[in-house]
């Protein structure tokens, strides 16, 4: 197992190209189940979750090959409708194959994903939505079995706005007989991008980019090429890393529109930010002002930057509050930050951060992907060396993070760890 050793004290400065969005790719890849043929998905990030999803598609008989951020997929050989536990347990997004499989083949068997580091993450909305489209759902030895001779269009309201459930039900509805109306659908850019790819494939979808999606089912779809949108979470992570180290950064290949609320909050904290087409330039001098955030569905502040923002506010002279609405238990990074000297109190779904305390390097343990990123950023501002263990989480979702940070001036190295 690998760890990252971060030497504190360097400024993050320079230019960095933002990779394709992890969550964007994971939404586009299952769409290839819906139509037999060959696909090229450009700007696909080379990271572990994409490899895991490729293996999952491989287990269904779909060939995937990633070369230089171009993912080639050949779905003509699909020969299975079963997504095994070994792969689904590694990555919740595997559940995305349920809707496309049942829509196209009338049958899908997908392992239940289980919980995750920050508490239970139910899939009830995915299942209710597919049931509404006429699928019969049964649970058998930890697997969901979904069956339907032919899905039928229906009205379905998502009680909670869910990225994954919207993607799953939307993909299924494209091949259902008749019309489907989805309300309170997720607005996240990764879902909008999926809907656009589905339209390119021949799907009929109205209301893209809104929370109300109207889908007129078609008999078949065709394979297409598509480009993955830039990773807004990776982009925000580098902006925060530059801001907290009082650096200056230019992000390239980014969609600033997807980051509007994050940019507002960074400006409120004292950063100077310029936006120009697909570039964001940030400069920070001095300590940030304390700025509260509340995580919300898009276009609100994403839960996926909550941990990184927590680290940022450690540098602020004053008290700030973080309210986590999406995943109330998502504070596993806090005890690790406290090990570095942070003063943070968590109760219910909020954290109170008393900033301005000196951090000193120590060994810390990553609990999940974004927690790993926040610990690496904390290492940049701590005195001495911080060892971030279990960085396999980081490898899941950030393309070449340490290489990018080193190119931006960070002093980081990867080493083997004896801690499991
Ligand atoms: C996706 C992202 C993840 C991000 C999250 C929230 C991917 C691969 N992952 O995860 O990085 O943190 O969106 O932006 O895109 N819920 C239910 N029932 C369901 C499904 C969800 O109650 O059936 C709840 C969840 O517990 C959570 C909320 O809905 O409170 C939002 O979760 P959801 O949008 O579904 O997250 P994911 O799609 O799993």
Q: From the alpha carbon of 302, which atom of ligand 1 is closest?
A: 14
Which residue among 196, 227, 258 closes a domain? 227
7 in helix, strand or coil? strand
The answer to whether residues 208 and 344 belong to one domain is no
Characterize 53-91 residue by residue with b for buried, 16 or more Cβ atoms within 10 angstroms of its Cβ, and e for exposed: bbbbbebbebebebeebebebbbeebeebebbbebbebb
Kindly give the distance from the C-alpha atom of residue 163 to the centroid of ligand 1, in angstroms, as a whole number. 6
Return the higher-pLDDT residue of 181 and 367.
181
Residue located via tokens 């139910």: 122
Q: Which residue's CA is minimally distant from atom 37 of ligand 1?
A: 164
**Same domain assignment for residues 161 and 291:** no
| Shortest-distance atom of ligand 1 to CA 91 | 8
State the CATH number of the domain containing residue 135.
3.65.10.10
Q: What are phi and psi of 216, to 5 degrees?
A: -100, 115
**Same domain (yes/no): 60, 174:** yes
- Could you tell me the distance, in angstroms and rounded to a whole number, from the CA of residue 112 to the centre of ligand 1? 15
Q: Which of 124, 144, 162 to mutate to test the pocket of ligand 1 (most atoms within 8 A of CB)?
A: 162
Burial 333-342, CB ≥16 within 10 A → b, else e: bbebbebbbb
Q: How far apart are alpha carbons 214 and 208 in whole angstroms?
A: 9
Q: How many structural domains does the chain have?
A: 2
Which residue has its alpha carbon closest to ligand 1 atom 35? 162
Cis peptide before 299 (omega within 30 of 0): yes
* Same domain, residue pair 129 and 273: no
Band of the pLDDT at 114, cuts 50, 70, 90? Answer: low
User: How many angstroms does the Cα of residue 186 sit away from the middle of ligand 1?
Assistant: 10
pTM: 0.97
Report residue 1's pLDDT band, with 50, 70 and 90 as the boundaries.
confident
pLDDT higher than threshold 60 for residue 118: no
Query: Which of the listed residues 227, 254, 283 is the one where a domain comes to its end?
Result: 227
Banded model confidence at residue 89, pLDDT cuts 50, 70, 90: confident
What sign has the CA pseudo-torsion 159, 303, 250, 253?
negative
Q: Do 197 and 280 fall into the same domain?
A: no
Ligand 1 binding pocket includes 162 (Cβ within 6 Å): yes
- The domain of 270 spans 2-19+230-416
Please tell me the least confidently modeled range out of 7-11, 52-56, 120-124.
Answer: 120-124
β-bridge pairing 143-147 and 107-111: antiparallel
Residues designated as active site = 116
* pLDDT reported for residue 121: 75
If you compute the radius of gyration of the chain from its CA atoms, what whole number of angstroms results?
21
128 lines ligand 1 (CB under 6 A): no
Tell whether ligand 1 has an atom less than 6 A from the beta carbon of residue 340. Answer: no
Q: Whose CA is nearest to atom 12 of ligand 1?
A: 304
Evaluate if residue 359 carries a pLDDT over 60: yes
Q: Is the distance from the beta carbon of residue 282 to the nearest atom of ligand 1 less than 6 Å?
A: no
Task: Indicate whether 274 and 326 sit together in one domain.
Answer: yes
Q: Which of 206, 227, 248 finishes a domain?
A: 227
Does any ligand 1 atom lie closer than 6 A to the CB of residue 52? no
Ligand 1 within 6 A of CB of 56: no
Q: Are residues 261 and 400 in the same domain?
A: yes
CA of 323 to the centre of ligand 1 (A): 17
Return the pLDDT at 48.
93
**What's the pLDDT score for residue 198?**
98
What DSSP string runs through 80-107? --EE-HHHHTT-GGGGGGHHHHHHHHSE
Assess whether pLDDT exceeds 60 at residue 294. Answer: yes
CA distance 405 to 402: 5
- pLDDT at position 417 is 80
The mean pLDDT of the chain is 95
């Amino acid at each position: 197992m690998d760890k990252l050793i971060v030497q504190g004290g360097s400024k993050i400065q320079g230019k960095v190209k933002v990779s394709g969005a992890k969550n964007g790719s994971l939404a586009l890849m299952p769409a290839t189940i819906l139509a037999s043929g060959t696909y090229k998905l450009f700007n696909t990030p080379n990271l572990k979750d994409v490899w895991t999803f490729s293996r999952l598609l491989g287990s269904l008989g779909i060939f995937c090959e990633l070369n230089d951020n171009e993912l080639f997929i050949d779905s003509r050989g699909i020969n299975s409708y079963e997504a095994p536990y070994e792969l689904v347990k590694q990555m919740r997004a595997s559940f995305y194959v349920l809707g496309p499989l049942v829509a196209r083949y009338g049958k899908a068997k997908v392992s239940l994903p289980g919980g995750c580091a920050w508490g239970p993450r139910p899939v009830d909305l995915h299942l209710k939505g597919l049931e509404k489209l006429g699928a019969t759902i049964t649970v058998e030895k930890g697997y969901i079995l979904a069956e339907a001779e032919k899905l039928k269009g229906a009205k379905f309201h998502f009680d909670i706005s869910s990225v994954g459930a919207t993607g799953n039900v939307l993909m299924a509805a494209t091949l259902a007989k008749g019309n489907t109306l989805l309300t309170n659908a997720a607005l996240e850019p990764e879902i909008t991008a999926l809907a656009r790819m589905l339209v390119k494939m021949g799907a009929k979808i109205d209301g893209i980019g809104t929370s109300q999606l109207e889908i007129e089912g078609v008999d078949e779809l065709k394979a297409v090429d598509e480009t993955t949108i830039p990773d807004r979470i990776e982009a925000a992570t580098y902006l925060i890393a530059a801001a907290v180290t009082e650096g200056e950064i230019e992000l390239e290949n980014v969609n600033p529109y997807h980051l509007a609320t994050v940019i507002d909050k960074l400006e409120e904290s004292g950063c100077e930010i310029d936006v120009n087409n697909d570039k964001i330039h940030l400069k920070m001098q001095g300590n940030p002002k304390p700025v509260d955030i509340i995580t919300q569905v898009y276009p609100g502040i994403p839960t996926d930057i909550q941990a990184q923002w927590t680290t940022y506010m450690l540098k602020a002279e004053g008290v700030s509050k973080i309210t986590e609405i999406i995943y109330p238990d998502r504070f596993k990074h806090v005890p690790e930050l406290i090990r570095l000297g942070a003063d943070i109190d968590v109760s219910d779904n909020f954290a109170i951060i008393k900033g301005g305390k000196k951090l000193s390097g120590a060994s810390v343990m990553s609990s999940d992907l974004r927690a790993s990123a926040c610990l690496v950023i904390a290492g940049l501002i701590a005195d001495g060396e911080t060892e971030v263990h279990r960085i396999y989480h980081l490898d899941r979702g950030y393309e070449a993070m340490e290489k990018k940070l080193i190119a931006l001036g960070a002093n980081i190295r990867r080493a083997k760890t004896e801690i499991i």
